[in-house]
Amino acid sequence: MKLTHISKLEFDRLEGVRKIIVHDYAKRFASLDLGNSLGIYGMSWTSVSLDPIIIVSEEQNTVWLGVDRQVAAIALETGRILMSLPLNINIVQIQAIGQITAVLTEEEIFLFNPGCSLRLHEDLPDQGIALLQKDENIMIQMLEGETLIINPMTGIVDREMLFV
């Protein structure tokens, strides 16, 4: 799996179905090479300071991609695009946690099941800056010091204040 920055002309030459993340006013372009059997996929995005986030699920069967305000997933066995979702706000982090994939934006958290169906969507009370796994829970750190704790199995959300 190799990410290479490319020109707009090279991006435009890619077959339409191979463009997995596309922005109307893109300033940057990249290709993601998934090997001989799956080929090359393209991405375009607007931010000049951000690079795409690329992670592989813990089962090693799905690659998750995110940049700016879009997230996508590709099946590594078939090369099929499993999901491509535009978001309301920029992605902060994508993380595989067991069989779940967590996508943190500045204002929301999304939890996806294997197969990319949505398990949970929650608006955040403050700007999310990081997520991590603690035991069976997911902890989301907020800009103002609050931590949002989510049990991914039950969907129960708990808030706690951290005093630094």
pLDDT in tens, 55-100: 999 888 999 999 999 999 999 999 999 999 999 999 999 999 888 9
pTM recorded for the entire structure: 0.90
Three-state SS string across 63-111, please? EEEEECCEEEEEECCCCCEEEEEECCCCEEEEEEECCEEEEEECCEEEE
Q: Is the dihedral of CA 89, 94, 97, 99 positive or negative?
A: positive
Q: How far apart are CA 56 and CA 147, in angstroms?
A: 26
| pLDDT for res 105 | 96
Percentage of the chain lying above the pLDDT 70 cut: 97
- Residue 50 in contact with residue 69, Cβ under 8 Å? no
Q: Would you state the pLDDT for residue 163?
A: 43
